[in-house]
Structure 1
């Protein structure tokens, strides 16, 4: 376009410069507007372990893609960021929170504790790590949806009671939203988990299981988005 303007005898240098500036300003204006639209989309960071990462599932059938699809279908303006790391404990989540938030987020989903429980780690340690995460979120003014876990009875009644109390008590302490039990939507009548909705390892939900979990969690995520102003 610049060479074409220069070849036109009816236009002097001053006119060319004016037109060039108008074109540049228009392009810049469009870029800024596009950036503003993107910035107005609330980003929700999903901090978790393999349940969040989508272990054992095709990329579009994991928790984060399915939650994103649920939000899109329900007209929610949001971007869900996958900060799930398979095998992560609450300690790992606490250690990488600042890094995970470095790209920015307006809300936080915390789904950690399952690996602490599977390893039989002291519930007081999991509580301390989750407290660190929630305190950091509170300091940054981030609303949080805390996802709870239950413990099997084979660790003993005391362990089960202490572990399961972590989530509602911390939710009350930090005034977060709470989904009491991640696996509740795919629970069996005997109190276990329906194998129909699980992968062969018996630990991770299959695509249909994730779909049910997302359907149950979705309204809570809408509440979270409302707290971000989105």
Structure 2
């Protein structure tokens, strides 16, 4: 049967509309959320110098249409991150960078508790089909060999368990360097954050490329 032009238009209109809606959804910027603490929140740094802002700027410079939310909270522990996870996921991020545990370590919290909290965070992300990247932390030697061994195993173990992209130490190349930290010698300054971003960015870029269906940035 040959359709008249008006009837054919009516039948095709919903399909065309669906295609436009789908195209619009794909065209929106991808959302990255950082579930982190003061190391990501830009503690005592000027606006724009924290990890989320520097990471977003670096990714955009590479051609990614992306936003990185200011979701890191100074003082956050793994328990606090778990408690706030549902709230953060309410913004429907496409990718989550999990950077937690430094405050657990500094407070001497039992590594079993830290592991359990991070495990629950990662299992929740997996269950909700939200890709994740795990950024690790290392314990200070003065906490004792047993504590250090138990704490330092948390991150590689969970990265392997969940087959996650893994950045072993968020402060790699930054920790204890007076040129890259603020006066407390613990938190990164703007230049230190830039080092962190250079380390994390390849993992984030690869994940975003996968989310783009394998298309490179700007394609």
Q: Compute the TM-score of the two structures, normalised by the length of structure 2.
A: 0.84
1:97 maps to what in 2?
85
Measure the CA separation in 1 of the matches of 2:127 and 2:26.
25
- Specify the alignment match of 1:120 in structure 2: 108
Conserved? CA contact 1:64–1:82, under 8 Å: yes
Specify which of 123, 140, 143 is matched with residue 131 of structure 2: 143
**Distance (whole Å) between structure 1 residues aligned to residue 138 and residue 163 of structure 2:** 20
> Structure 1 segments of 4 or more deviating over 4 A?
none
**Aligned residue in 1 for 2:68:** 80
- Report if aligned partners of 1:68, 1:79 keep a CA contact under 8 Å in 2: yes
Deviation at 1:174, TM superposition (A): 0.8
Q: Aligned-residue CA RMSD in angstroms?
A: 1.8
Instruction: Tell me if the contact between 2:177 and 2:185 (Cα under 8 Å) persists in the aligned partners.
Output: no
2:174 to 166, 186, 207: 186
- How many Å apart are 1:37 and its aligned residue? 6.0
Would you tell me which structure has more helix in proportion to its own residues? 1
Q: CA separation in 2, counterparts of 1:79 and 1:41?
A: 6
Equivalence map 1:125-136=2 (5 Å): 125-136=113-124
After superposition, give the CA deviation of every residue in 1:47-67 in whole Å (9 maximum; x if it has no partner). 101112111111111111100
User: Which residue does the alignment assign to 1:212?
Assistant: 195
Contact 1:143 1:228 in 2 (8 A): no
**How far is the alpha carbon of 1:38 from its aligned partner?**
7.7
Equivalent residue number for residue 211 of structure 2: 228
> C-alpha displacement at 1:39, in angstroms?
5.6
Structure-2 residue corresponding to 1:7: none
Mapped partners of 2:156, 2:183: distance in 1: 30
Is the contact between residue 143 and residue 227 of structure 1 (CA under 8 Å) also seen in structure 2?
Answer: no
Cα 1:227/1:130, change in 2 over 3 Å:
farther
Aligned to 2:140: 152
Partners of 1:38 and 1:81 lie apart in 2 by: 19
Question: Residues 29-81 of structure 1: CA distance to partner in whole angstroms, max 9, x if unpaired?
Answer: 9xx87x92686321111110111211111111111110011101111221111
1:228 offset after TM fit, Å?
2.4
Structure 1 gaps of 5+ residues are: 1-28, 188-192
Residue in 2 that maps onto 1:70: 58
Residues 159-211 of structure 1 show CA distances to partners (whole Å, capped at 9, x for unaligned) of 10110110010011011110001111225xxxxx2111000111110000001
